[in-house]
Amino acid sequence: MPALPPSRTSRPASARRAPRPEALPLPAADSLAQAFLLGSSAVAAVMAGRSLSEALPRLLQGALPATRAQAQDLAYGALRRYGWGEAVLAPLLQKPLAETQLQGLLLCALYRLESRPDQQHTVVDQAVAAAATLAKGNFRGVINGVLRNYLRQREQLLAEVKENSPAACWYPAWWLEKLKRAYPADWQQIAAAGNAQAPMTLRNNARQGSPEAYLAELSVAGIGARRLGLNGLVLEKPVAVDILPGFFSGRVSVQDWGAQRAAELLGTEAGQRVLDACAAPGGKTAHILEGTEATLLALDADGERSRRVEENLQRLGLSAEVRCADARRTDDWWDGRPFQRILADVPCSASGVVRRHPDSKWLRREGDIAQFARVQRQILEALWPTLAPGGRLLYATCSVFPEENSRQIDAFLGRHADAAALPIDGQPEYQMLPGSDHDGFYYALLEKRP
């Protein structure tokens, strides 16, 4: 699903100008201090308004595998609990810090102290070593003093934060309020799932073998896994794709089980014309083609993301027409021949996959939800005329907010007498709330009456 930039970039309250790099000695490449530097740089980039998925890969280029893994854990962990970290630091700082990376380093160190309480001395020592290379100034003393004061006052500080519901839950206040209104009985469960580490789930390529056969291959490779759904395989713990048997020859793909349901629900049949209207990075496109012989057009409005669709199809040995085009501008890409199946995996807030993108909690603004809803409505209105009578359109988001999901579909059905919602698992719509086995997704299957 393509990312949609918000109308205005939102930054955490403490956002400041990103630090300028200085030509200072760096810690050893395999040290925790180096991981702190990389992780804090990623956090600082998010504080400056960039997405984590954009900033982190560039920062980790050339890092040793172990250091890369530690830095990624630090960045994700610090951003998951960003609001908590800010609330903890506030009484420990005499004045706001001028360096965003220094703030990021403290947030990473706080996360490490909480997740590895047996390493307090090492964490403080290595955070101080990292601070020595940030810029000119006595930042070592700042880091050492703040972290040691935190350890001395930890119980009192955590008790105070516990009284602050948004900070204690690791979410902005507006986000929690939306969850409470939409899911009064489940909002705490949803929030907790969004703060957890996401599982690594694979999609078995049915063209190359059965899920059972691949489970056996994983077992031989010493990788624990279990079946989930038709073609899903959940790993006991995440691994690098390099060690997955047959990954580069297309044997499996990494895809959340909730996302895997899209191809199943769309129900494509052999010989049909299919449109994947917002296709990047191509996981759902590939899944459709793995299951049936169809003529498929994959669209994405971003050229770089469109190339990712092509790369994924190439790895899997699949073929589709891939075009860089805005789904709303049908004159640019539609030849007038109707589609029997359309997948509209529309841009959304990504509130159902926040554990994979923890920065979105802090970069997103409440007003962005209405902007996403407008774009979603425009895409639905543009695509509906391209659907053949009797054809089906699957509307999909990775959101849990009703404005993007049930309310969007209810309004669409009210505007189109020729549209009918088909049941999904016995329900008129399918809202998957995030849980231990999958992220949060929403699906609505619409049929066009003849």
Amino acid at 213: A
> How many CB atoms neighbour CB 186 within 10 A?
14
Distances in Å between the Cα of 107 and the Cα atoms of 63, 80, 131, 365 are 21, 10, 13, 22
Residue that is written with structure tokens 């031989």 in the block: 220
Residues near 103 by beta carbon (within 8 Å), at least 6 away in sequence: 14, 16, 43, 44, 47, 89, 97
Q: Are 372 and 404 in contact (CB under 8 A)?
A: yes
The gap from C-alpha 231 to its chain's centroid, in whole angstroms, comes to 21
Which two tokens mark 445? 């299957």
Which two tokens mark 231? 């073609």
DSSP string, 2-67: -----SS----TT--PPPPP---PPPPTTSHHHHHHHHHHHHHHHHTT--HHHHHHHHHTT--HHH
Q: Could you give the CA distance from residue 175 to residue 292 in angstroms, rounded to a whole number?
A: 40
Plot region of 342 (φ>0 → left; ψ -120 to 50 → alpha; else → beta): beta
DSSP H helical ranges for 271-403 = 283-291, 303-316, 360-363, 366-383
Instruction: For 392, list phi and psi in degrees, rounded to 5.
Output: -130, 140
Cα pseudo-dihedral 12, 13, 14, 19, rounded to 10: 50
Q: Could you give the CA distance from residue 412 to residue 329 in angstroms, rounded to a whole number?
A: 19
What angle do the packed helices 52-60 and 32-47 form, to 10 degrees? 150
Instruction: For 288, list phi and psi in degrees, rounded to 5.
Output: -60, -45
The residues assigned a catalytic role are 398
